[in-house]
Amino acid sequence: MPSSPATDVWFVLPPGVVLLDFAGAAEAFRIAADFGAGFRPRVTAAIEPGQPVPTSLGLGLVGVEPPPEAPDADALLIVCGAAGDAGASDSRGGRAIARWLRRVGPGRRLACICSGALMAARAGLLDGRRCTTHHTLIDALRQAAPHAEVLDSRVFVEDGGVYTSAGITAGIDLALHLIAEMASPRLSADVAREMVVYLRRAPDDPALSPWLQGRNHLDMRVHRVQDALARAPQRDWPLERLAELGHMSVRTLTRRFRDAAGMSVHDYHARLRVALARQALAAGDSVEAAAAQAGLASARQLRRLWAVHAEATPGLHRRRSA
């Protein structure tokens, strides 16, 4: 990994910046730099000299630099999200950031976390591109960037060196992806391990993890069944065995599971198997090997499940993750 010259990674803070939007991604690059990568995290905001940057938690950030007149050609700009979401881009500081981005952003590697995409849209940097943002701001982004293709249910999207992501944890996923691209996948994995991030998601993964979907309920018997499926999704699980674990009949399990999780036992299990296959494909495994890791009999069976529970194809997911 190169140690010199270092690449400036500029974190651009809007007024009311969400601290974890900033700190999560910034820590990933700091750790990467500590591991020897050629990154130099820097922080900028459109504020009066000596004034703190207001944040989502009411704390002021000091030691922030004014926007550079001309960032280095290889610098990475990361625009963080703000509390108040769409309104932040209309504030005085938000408009100043948009003007600066309009001037220095074209042709440069640019990343946006959460509502940071709205500032990039105001600067005209998303026109003609695929992009995303937090799921509550999709409509606002479509209005702000009418000439962009705004995608929902995405962790992050990359189009021509412009990256946009969903909420807080998606910003960490995006930072890890950028570290893999700009340094190495191995370094990205080391940073993820240091941060105790479970698994790095790929650009076309859904924003809501299959491991979390269907768990927002209070039926402990159904949770017990879901726990068993999540511990070993590659196994075949007869309904009779799952009903036994949940201390209920098959008929009761079928009814209670759908009522609590919003889907059938079969669909829940299938989504977990597809999630396992995603991880294998992202690690470079073949479609056949990914199917085997997910406990499926063949690549054809994986493709059938994928067509129902995911977008594109396993092969395309593998190529995008490479």
Preceding peptide of 5 cis, ω within 30°: yes
Question: For residues 319 and 144, which has the higher predicted lDDT (pLDDT)?
Answer: 144
Q: Is the pLDDT of residue 208 over 70?
A: no
* pLDDT tens profile 141-189: 999 999 999 988 778 889 999 999 987 788 998 998 899 889 987 788 7
Strands (E), 50-199: 53-54, 60-61, 76-79, 110-112, 130-131, 149-150, 156-159, 162-165
- The answer to whether residue 62 scores a pLDDT higher than 70 is yes
Q: Which two tokens stand for residue 153?
A: 């249910």
Residues 6+ apart with CB under 8 A from 55: 16, 17, 18, 19, 61, 83
* pLDDT tens track for 252-263: 999 999 998 899
Give pLDDT tens digits for 267-314: 999 999 998 898 888 878 899 999 999 999 999 999 999 999 888 889
What is the mean predicted confidence (pLDDT) over 231-246? 95
Q: 198 pLDDT band (50/70/90 cuts)?
A: low
Instruction: With residue 93 as reference, give the H or E element that holds it.
Output: helix 92-104
**What does the pLDDT look like over 105-116, one tens digit per residue?**
999 999 999 999
Question: Distance between CA atoms of 194 and 63, rounded to whole angstroms?
Answer: 26
DSSP 3-state of 143: helix
d(CA 155, CA 182): 19
| The model's pTM | 0.66
* Residue 51 confidence (pLDDT) above 90: no
Strand partners, 159: 162
CA distance 307 to 314: 9
Quickly tell me which residue has 């009411």 as its tokens.
58
- Helix and strand numbers (H, E) in the chain are 13, 10
- Answer for the pair 295, 233: CB distance below 8 angstroms, yes or no: yes
Structure tokens at 13: 């803070």
pLDDT in tens, 69-102: 999 999 999 999 998 656 666 677 778 899 999 9
Predicted confidence band at 4 (pLDDT cuts at 50, 70, 90)? Answer: low
Please tell me the predicted confidence (pLDDT) of residue 3. Answer: 44
Categorise residue 20: left if φ over 0, alpha if ψ from -120 to 50, beta otherwise.
alpha
Q: What DSSP character marks residue 6?
A: P
Q: In the numeric block, which tokens belong to residue 170?
A: 């998606």
Amino acid type, 253: L
Q: Is 279 left (phi over 0), alpha (psi -120 to 50) or beta?
A: alpha
Classify the phi-psi angles of 36: left when phi > 0, otherwise alpha if psi is within -120 to 50, otherwise beta.
left
- Token look-up 């209005």 returns 143
